[in-house]
Amino acid sequence: MKITDLLSIESVDLNGKASGKQEVLEQMVDLMVKRGNISDRKVYRDTVFSREEEGTTGVGGGIAIPHGKSSAVKAPGLAAMVVKGGVDFDALDGEPVEILFLIAAPNTKDNVHLDVLSRLSVLLMDEGFTQKLKAAGSREEFLQTIEAAESRREAEEAGETEPARAENRKKIVAVTACPTGIAHTYMAAESIEKKARELGYEVKVETRGSGGAKNVLTEEDIRTADGIIVAADTKVPMDRFDGKRTVVCQVSAGISRPEELIRKAVSKEAAVYHSSGESAGESEGKESSGHRLYKHLMNGVSHMLPFVVGGGILIAIAFLIDGLSVDMAALSEAERANFGTITPMAAFFKNLGNVAFGFMLPVLAGFIGESIADRPGLAIGFVGGAIASTGTSGFLGALAAGFIAGYLMQLLKKIFSRLPKGLDGLKPVLLYPLLGVLFIGLIMNFLIEPPIGALNTMLNQGLSAMNNTSAVLLGFVLAGMMAIDMGGPFNKAAYVFGTASIAAGNYNIMAAVMIGGMVPPCAIALATLLFKRKFTAEERKSGPTNFIMGLAFITEGAIPFAASDPLRVIPSCVLGSGLAGALSMAMGCTLMAPHGGIFVFPVVGNALMYLAALVAGTLVSALVLGLLKRNRA
């Protein structure tokens, strides 16, 4: 398969005009649709825009290679556009983009098209080639230019032989990788290879693309290398580079600054990488501290999400089974308290869901710690998250535990770097886990948990005093507290107050508490449908499952969204939950069961108004969230 096999006359536009990035991408998608490779324009378009959220595909030099791998793609294809005068595309070099190639990749295991796409990326590194494309007078000439360049490249590769290494000739090895592994991976590889040969170095580059690792570095390659470059925006195996001078950078640096990276890799400026973590290759990226913290956070959130979704839906099934199997009105107070475990089948699903939920906060903290300090931070974060889960601090405590664990482990690594080399083997198996677990236990138990426990006591006392003043205000406060930390001390304080009120015969308070916990997941699910550009592709996929969890009164379904953007998500949810709780109180809604969500509506007093309050709170939270969040596409 050749590059021109993926292009057609219909998918080439030599007179493109657009006012900005979004408009030009929409036009490129239309070109691809004309190519005949797309079964669903909207699905493919959303995939392309989601990829752009991960980082610009404007690679510099007036070139952009947007791409999307989707089930809506029937066969691999290309679309091309030349924009005279260029268009602002947020390119890596800040310059306007004049040539765009859009890639359509089917969502299959067969990645044969990636070889073709990598060749296109390589060709575009040749300035003479891109000038000919911009000067093409017709679409036929445009295609002929590509075909001629590809034929020359193939002829060069067929006659290429690896020269013997001279005694004093230095050798560079590199690894390139980007999150999608389609364009940037191969462009960085070509840029490094080309510049290394110009400088007289031997070079070998391993590419880690969608089709897997290619041209994999051997032990001999690494042993004989004078310098190593890892240009990657995703994790690559690093242990093999232990003891070698290694420059670690973003894949964009591999494309735009290969000479600087090569000279640094072979000089004493490059740090010696140690797999045990005492010293890592020097980072060349311009990543801000805030972005690094966000990446650590998202590593924890992404690993936590399956536990939230799987456990939450299993618990919802348990409530459904009991709701269909028993007469809620005929249950005693004690039986209502055990709703979800009354029948044996419901108890099985509830217990299984609780097991999954039990891992949620330890996984969140563990993988935040792992992102900061690699494997040594994983176990320490797990322990800190487990303490938060079983204690009073909830998911906010788990967030703190993850970051504390990661940076605590980094501190221990620096301290132990002064120990004799003979003790290196003891560090990961004894010193790190022993002292890490000890210190995270001390920090969580004596610095994090006590103030939050005291906060819980104050909240309960304050709520008891408020119960005698204003019912509507109390409903707003209780319901809003359910949305503040979604399982943490505020949430628990409100829930405990609500369940205690049932025993005292105040059923309106429990109604406000439950509706406050139902709003956040429902609002987030609605927002992911109404404001798709405000959320990442992963968030849009998992968003609708929050309807199930919200209606089952599983507030924790909103935690991944709150953790990734707390300053916007939490205030939005608090406002909508508070409104729903206030309306529930104002309309005299009551609830005699402490859990169950929509499945216990048969025992809700004034159920129709209760449902109206839930809808109102959900709409308000979703709309406010849509206004506050920034576009992600």
Report the alpha-carbon angle 129-118-60, nearest 5.
Answer: 55
55 torsion bin: left (phi>0), alpha (psi -120 to 50), beta (else): left
SS (H, E, C) 134-157: HHCCCHHHHHHHHHHHHHHHHHHH
The tokens describing 140, both together, are: 């036929």
The tokens describing 183, both together, are: 């364009």
CA distance 337 to 331: 10
Q: What are the angstrom distances between the C-alpha of 460 and each of 150, 202, 469?
A: 73, 70, 15
B/e letters for 277-294, b = 16+ CB within 10 Å, e = fewer, are bbebbbebeeeeeeeeee
Which residue carries 């205690």 as its tokens?
A: 500
516 torsion bin: left (phi>0), alpha (psi -120 to 50), beta (else): alpha
* Residue 262: its H or E element: helix 258-265
Considering 67, 274, 303, 595, which one is annotated as catalytic? Answer: 67
Quick one: 142 exposed, middle or buried, by C-beta within 10 A (0-12, 13-18, 19+)?
buried
Give 595's contacts (C-beta < 8 A, 6+ positions apart): 319, 339, 340, 514, 553
274 annotated active-site: no
CA distance 134 to 126: 13
3-class state of residue 281 by DSSP: coil
DSSP characters over 484-529: HSSSSHHHHHHHHHHHHHHHTT-HHHHHHHHHHHHHHHHHHHHHHH
* Torsions phi, psi for 420 (to 5 deg): -60, 145
CA atoms within 13 A on the CB side of 590: 9
CA distance 595 to 612: 19
CA distance 251 to 65: 15
CA distance 581 to 508: 10
Considering 113, 178, 184, 249, which one is annotated as catalytic? Answer: 178
Which residue carries 């310098």 as its tokens?
A: 227
178 annotated active-site: yes
Report H helices in 391-506: 394-416, 426, 432-443, 449-466, 471-484, 489-503
CA distance 444 to 276: 26
CA distance 632 to 129: 33
Residues carrying an active site annotation: 67, 178
